[in-house]
Chains A and B, each alone.
Chain A
Amino acid sequence: MKRLMTRRNLLRGAGVCLALPWLESLAPRGASAGEPGTPKRFLLCTFPNGAPHHWWETAPAFGKTLKGADFKLPRVLEHFAPVKSKMLMISRLGNYTWSTEQHPYIEPSHSRLNAALSTCVDADQLGRDARQDLGEWVGNGISVDQLIVQKAGPEQATRIPSLQTGLGVKPGFFDQRSYAYNQAVSWKSPREPLKRSVNPKAVFDALVGAGAAQGGSVPGQSDEQTRIEAERRAATEKSVIDGVLADANSLINRVGSGDRKIVQQYLDSLREIEKNATRVQSTMTPPAGLGCSPIDKPGAVPEPPGQAEGLNENDNTEAGEYKHDDHANVMIDLIVMAIQCDVTRVVSHMLDDARSEFEYRCIPEDVRAQVGLAYRRESSLHFHSSQHGAGNMDRATQDGQYKIVQQSNLDYAAINCWLGQKTAQLAQRLDALREGDGTVLDHSVMVYMSEMRSHDHDGYDLPIVLLGGDGVFLNDAHVAYDALGNDRQLRDLWFTIMNQYYGLGISSFGEDRRGEPNALLEEILR
């Protein structure tokens, strides 16, 4: 089933992509990239465990593009119909050239592939290079969303630099590695994973703390009073932080070198908090017209305490019975609120943790029907089990597609369809917000994708959808690259977004142990 991909095969593919001359290739297509001053936004919505074969049922042949009426939505993505005209499917991109094995079958796949989704480097290898025990090692590259935050310039700065949300209430086995690889896709620095928060209450508090509730001035309070109040709040925070910094500084001089690193890390984190907490706010105002209307304070969803631990559908919590669909919906509300109040422009949203053990008993009948699955009450819809259920797509090709040996089981497809539905709902909500000459969705790059291919846990042929794109990317189209061996790599998608949409002038992103430089994905550009 697993055939080795030879180095020669890979090299044969390598010569094909000719990069454009350097400077030209890095110049963003400014003419089409929206009005000056229009906010740029990046939303990375990930789903774990790959996609069913149905995902590619309408895919163009290798190397071809289908547009407009010729581009048909696959059944599992039918919920995207209302935003199909703003949608671009990208197929046959791989993410494996960073692995020392030079092989699209990555082991252990869940943790390593999820770690590489947004960084395109090998977290395990970094740990080995640092001579660390992989069970304790936490390290990776800086992720694409965080690089955007760090490089996008002051005109894109927001009170919350980036937001990490998720719905993973029942993570699976962490492959004997840190939680960070299964529960984070954002990496602020090589040693700093930004774990997603599944707790709507915590996200809400963070948004309100950043001023999302203050659409303008508080009624009955003069601007002067507002300012005095804000200054008093900032001074209170500063007093706490000064006190703690004094403790930390006194400690740091007395402890051994190993402990000193830990205290230093605490101290550095506090200084970061200081920047936000002591800022006298109201220096930024939401873009006109978007409005900023906070939702009602949502209930709490506890973080899962560890691997294979957490909530099941209908479990009792303090806030009542746990309903996954409600959880997903309130998280959409919160992301929309964050965007609408412009407290953040960069969001990573993990629709579930890698290797999820959640049982999707929440999926309504109509979504199951979408994939032709008769409603089976007894079906547990266990995500990881269904991934390992029936389904086999070959590496061999047939008529411009990968050959399907055995069709994916419908439980797996139903889960994918539901995850797509939730993402489509978010896209539609963003598309309903008018902004300048278009909508917020138009002015965003929203990527919906998985870290792996399908049942097989492979690191090639990733399922990817891009929405919006501000005139930079093709819309209403499905672009397919070539088959394995001549396929293109995910690192080039991140490279293209950073340089063409954001104009960051990034010279290289991710790793290619074959020595291939990054090159733009020309086919997806408008």
Chain B
Amino acid sequence: MTFRLDRVFASPWLAAGGCLLGISCTGILGSQDDGSQDDPEQDASVAPDGMPLHHMTASEYNNTVAHLLGTRLRPADGFPAFGAKGFDANVSALSNLSQVLVQGYYDAAKVLAADAFSNEAQRAEILVCDPAEGAGDGCAREIIERFGLRAFRRPLEAAEVDRYAAQYTDAQTTLEMSPVEAVQHVVRTLLTSPNFLLRIEEGPDSERSPGALNGHEIASRLSYLLWSSLPDEALFDAAEGDQLATEGELRQQVDRMLADPKSAAFFQNFFGQWLGTRTLPSHNADATRFPIWNDEVKGAMLDQVNAYFASFTTGEQPWSEFLTAPHPESRLLEPLYANDPEGEREGFLTLPAFLTLSSRADRTSPTSRAKTILEQLFCVPMLPPANVDIPELGAAGGDEGPIENVRQELEKHRASPDCASCHDVLDPIGLSLEHFDPIGAYRTAYANGDPVDATGVYEGAVFEDISGLVPVLVESGRSGRCPTEQLFSYALRRRPSGGDRTRLKEIAERWGGGTVADLVKQVVTSEAFRLRAKDKAP
């Protein structure tokens, strides 16, 4: 691996108890997961190749009910937030399935069913026949089968159809409901079922490809990966015909699905959670210092960064250009580019969205910028040293006035040996971006008149600013390991385990920093994604 940081981190001062940095990303490449990461509960439930039971995230819930019912309600916005680190989907269901959340599901199902039946168009989608017509429960059974297939994302078993049909009949006799009300009641129950909220891969295997997951299981894995929602008609049809069994079929579906506008959920959720851009709507800059800042500009930043991601997801842009590709144009953001010197601003690191998100409201944070680069883009986790009280720079909002010259303040900070161990690594990277203010506008001086100094030395090489550092970072990222791990983790809804190590290396090598679509294809055609886990054989 050519990544120079690992040599920096292996320096003696680190061993002496300085900054606790490990080179393992999601806990797989380093040595630490060999011993300390054993997790009995996890081992019991997840075979090395498996995917944990699928528990819908908030955004998956909202998307699923939107596509299933045509509703505009977003009930999951009121559910408890998940998550500690990593992707939302990687949080274990066991720790999140609290009483409060189940109550949320219960109430949401009631509201969603009522909403679906109060709207003519929505109701018509469910009522494929008139349940009031004819004797018996023939029509109700058809509705249950058709709606149930989409809600459970698999065909209902005969016994399930019988149970729901009995509930339908009972609702009319004992609860005195009309036939349509009784259907609404059944729909509400289906939306409360664990088969809707959890997705359990029970088999059987694909007939065409024994040992692999069946069509419906793969269809859902694909649709939640690329759309954060349930499969569409085409996927259900392919699932029914067991036509998601070969690598060619999977690649074809990936192309089709990425071309669908629903794939916006992929770059919003995958990139948004990986690179943190989903927090942009909540970010606030100090408009008294940066008068350009307002909600419209913030929205334009988000649109721009999403367009940037999209160029890698659906276009031909190879990932190796992620730090050097041209920026999508944005009229609202022009003022931020107005003072740029000759030579085009390029790459992810100088996008206003990244520069803003990695800053405080009133000043830049070179530490935060460097930390994001190392942790997110290079999968180098950083932990603050234990038992060191990390002081803030100067006084924020106090009576001593704002911080003007961040570099000066950081130098004071670095004077402490406790701080130096981390900041010696972080600061040159973060300070290289100092020409960009907290909302990403180019500057040559701080508000107090001090000239901006973005120079630095990295591994003995002197650079003037970020443009001099980018080639080093590009070279370091050439292995493609980090994006591979991130996408693998997102697709499999878990952090990679030690057993995935070889597989990840192979995927990264086969991919070779090509397009994101290529990487998706490499991951979905991998054994981990396609095959049934050993302990989960039906």
Contacts and interface: CB of A to CB of B under 8 A. Distances in A.
Given A199-B78, A258-B41, A137 B392 contact: no
Contact of A316 (B78, B295, B536): B295
Contacts of A309: 278-279, 281-282
A105 B389 contact: yes
Contacts of A246: 163
A516 interface: no
A381 interface: yes
A304 B396 contact: no
A194 B389 contact: no
Interface in A117-141: 130-133, 135-138
Given A270-B102, A273-B102, A179 B185 contact: no
A272 B167 contact: no
A289 interface: no
Contacts of B37: 133
Contact of B397 (A192, A277, A411): A411
A312 B284 contact: yes
Contacts of A255: 53, 200, 202
Interface in B358-378: 360-362
Interface in B241-257: none
Nearest to B360: A385
Contacts of A305: 58, 77, 81, 278
B95 interface: yes
Contacts of A404: none
Contacts of A19: none
Interface stretch (B189-197, B312-320, B421-429, B463-471): B189-197
Interface string B30-70: 00000001111110111000001101001000000000000
A386 B200 contact: no
A170 to B, nearest CB: 6
A192 B99 contact: yes
B80 A179 contact: yes
A315 B299 CA distance: 13
A269 B389 contact: no
A137 B83 CA distance: 10
A380 B163 CA distance: 58
Q: Classify chain B: how many residues form its interface, as a range.
A: 35 or more
Contact of B167 (A1, A239, A254, A258): A239
A262 B78 contact: no
B399 A256 contact: no
B402 to A, nearest CB: 9
A136 B361 CA distance: 30
A36 interface: no
A409 interface: yes
B84 A176 contact: yes
A306 B200 contact: no
A308 interface: yes
B178 interface: no
Nearest to A232: B175
Interface in B128-151: none
A243 B167 contact: yes
B448 interface: no
Nearest to A183: B81
B536 A304 contact: no
Interface stretch (B85-93, B336-344, B439-447): B85-93
B461 interface: no
Contacts of B77: 302-303, 305
A456 interface: yes
Contacts, number: 238
B80 A202 contact: no
B386 interface: yes
Contact of A178 (B84, B99, B160): B84
Interface in A229-274: 232, 235-236, 239-240, 242-244, 246-248, 250-251, 254-259, 261-263, 265-267, 269-270, 272-273
Given A205-B107, A236-B185, A382-B396, A262 B171 contact: no
Interface in A159-204: 164, 170-171, 174, 176-179, 183, 188, 191-195, 197, 199, 202
B398 A411 contact: yes
Contacts of A265: 94, 97
B396 A259 contact: no
Interface in B364-413: 386-387, 389, 391-392, 395-400
A224 interface: no
B81 A266 contact: no
A308 B102 contact: no
A188 B83 contact: no
B100 interface: yes
A243 B193 contact: yes
Given A136-B92, A257-B44, A302 B197 contact: no
A263 to B, nearest CB: 6
A201 B362 CA distance: 34
A465 interface: no
Contact of A235 (B45, B175, B202, B386): B175
A390 interface: yes
A482 interface: no
B78 A456 contact: no
A436 interface: no
B170 A239 contact: yes
Given A192-B98, A256-B45, A262-B94, A135 B195 contact: no
B78 A170 contact: no
B389 A457 contact: yes
Nearest to B362: A380
Contacts of A381: 397
Contact of B282 (A135, A259, A312, A410): A312
B502 interface: no
A251 B387 contact: no
Given A192-B99, A202-B78, A262-B94, A239 B397 contact: no
A107 interface: yes
A94 B202 CA distance: 51
Interface in B190-247: 192-195, 197-198, 200, 202
A380 B91 contact: no
A300 interface: yes
B46 A258 contact: yes
Interface in B311-349: none
B171 to A, nearest CB: 6
B174 interface: yes
B506 interface: no
B164 interface: yes
A310 B282 contact: yes
Contact of B387 (A107, A188, A312, A379): A107
A240 B282 contact: no
Nearest to A316: B295
A272 B102 CA distance: 10
A40 B95 CA distance: 32
Nearest to B80: A195
Given A244-B194, A255-B53, A269-B97, 11 more contacts: A2-B389, A179-B81, A197-B100, A205-B107, A240-B192, A243-B164, A247-B195, A258-B45, A266-B102, A389-B395, A390-B400
8 interchain residue pairs of minimum CB distance: A258-B45, A269-B102, A409-B398, A388-B392, A390-B398, A385-B396, A389-B398, A138-B95
18 contacts: A130-B41, A174-B84, A183-B81, A239-B170, A239-B171, A246-B163, A255-B202, A256-B536, A259-B53, A266-B194, A267-B194, A277-B106, A303-B77, A306-B83, A306-B278, A380-B361, A388-B392, A456-B389
